[in-house]
């Protein structure tokens, strides 16, 4: 039975690219047995399929997934590229940290891609964030010190585009982030043949209009290959699939410290012998990151009370 990868899902159809024919797409339906099992094929799934007489096909088997994202719904991604603009809209570090929690919880390597550099004054001294008074240089230092790769980009000046492209080769990467930050423009600049639809920022609402309507894997040219997923923009994430005592393990600077806390299940609020609080006092954990941790913890507690 031939094997392939689902590169697009739309209106109940799954478009499969055979592993031995990169230029062909087979339009498939999923077998009814998946519905009975409560399983939905996802973009990124490696599948076995059968071709019918009319040239279409059926997805017969889904191979085990290495990763599975819920929002956006993509399987077998091993890297996330989080695109956040430096202006129009302003950089939202709380939302960025929420995305980082989710990519960490999903086991993904993560690149932070800061877009629209050309719209800022030279030097990086001005505040670029929506709620905290932090400059571009300070943002870069903060997240690079934690261990993230931070790439500053501009689709107009081409700054950082080659760095992003190099990081995509040979991997399945998902592009995500807040609406209106230039994800589609960034992908168009990296791969000019795409001509993905883009849209201007709504100045009245202060956010972008959604221009990507479905998840689709896009094949990268080059010897090493790779795929990228352009996904619908969205500005909210929830913590439905995470417990409160799991949250700190998704803040990568807190994770190694948690094991040394005096109490098992320490939530790093006011507990004695908490190693995270001690590191915060020493300045080893950024105040903004800890503040966002507490906000997310409160969200999780309120969600638990509702349900």
Q: Which residues are annotated as a binding site for GTP?
A: 115-118, 177-185
Known binding residues: 115-118, 177-185, 261, 266, 268, 274
Known binding residues for Zn(2+): 261, 266, 268, 274
Structural contact between residues 128 and 166, judged by C-beta atoms closer than 8 angstroms: no
Picking from 30, 145, 126, 42, the residue whose alpha carbon sits closest to that of residue 87 is 126
Which spans in 180-228 are helix H?
Answer: 183-190
CA distance 234 to 98: 12
Identify the burial level of 251 via C-beta atoms within 10 angstroms of its C-beta, where 0-12 means exposed, 13-18 middle and 19 or more buried.
buried
Spatial CB neighbours of 74, under 8 Å, sequence gap ≥ 6: 42, 43, 44, 68, 174, 215, 217, 229, 231
CA distance 45 to 14: 10
Tokens, residue 168: 């995509």
CA distance 151 to 264: 37
Picking from 104, 113, 121, 109, the residue whose alpha carbon sits closest to that of residue 78 is 109
Burial code (b: 16+ CB inside 10 Å, e: under 16) for 81-107 equals: bbbbbbbbbebbbebbbbbbbbbbebe
């Amino acid at each position: 039975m031939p094997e392939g990868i689902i590169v697009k899902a739309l209106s109940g159809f799954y478009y499969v690219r055979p592993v031995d024919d990169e230029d062909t797409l087979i339009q498939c339906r999923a077998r009814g047995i998946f519905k009975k099992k409560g399983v939905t094929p996802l973009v990124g799934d490696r599948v076995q399929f059968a071709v019918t007489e009319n040239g279409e096909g059926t997805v017969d088997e889904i191979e085990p997934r290495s990763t599975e994202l819920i929002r956006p719904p993509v399987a077998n991604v091993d890297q996330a590229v989080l695109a956040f603009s430096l202006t129009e809209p302003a950089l939202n570090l709380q939302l960025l940290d929420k995305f980082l929690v989710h990519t960490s919880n999903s086991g993904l390597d993560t690149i932070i891609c800061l877009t629209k550099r050309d719209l800022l004054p030279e030097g990086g001294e001005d505040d670029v964030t929506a709620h905290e008074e932090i400059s571009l240089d300070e943002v870069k230092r903060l997240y690079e010190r934690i261990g993230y790769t931070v790439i500053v980009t501009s689709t107009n000046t081409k700054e950082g585009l080659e760095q992003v492209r190099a990081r995509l080769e040979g991997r399945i990467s998902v592009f995500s982030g807040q609406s209106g930050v230039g994800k589609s423009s960034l992908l168009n600049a990296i791969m000019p043949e795409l001509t993905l639809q883009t849209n201007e920022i709504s100045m009245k609402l202060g956010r972008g209009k959604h221009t990507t309507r479905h998840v689709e894997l896009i094949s990268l040219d080059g010897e090493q290959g790779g795929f990228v997923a352009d996904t619908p923009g969205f500005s909210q994430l929830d913590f439905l699939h995470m417990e409160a005592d799991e949250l700190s393990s998704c803040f990568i600077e807190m994770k190694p410290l948690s094991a040394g806390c005096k109490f098992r299940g320490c939530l790093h609020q006011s507990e004695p012998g908490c190693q995270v609080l001690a590191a915060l006092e020493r300045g080893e954990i950024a105040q903004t990151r800890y503040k966002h941790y507490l906000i997310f913890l409160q969200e999780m507690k309120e969600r638990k009370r509702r349900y």
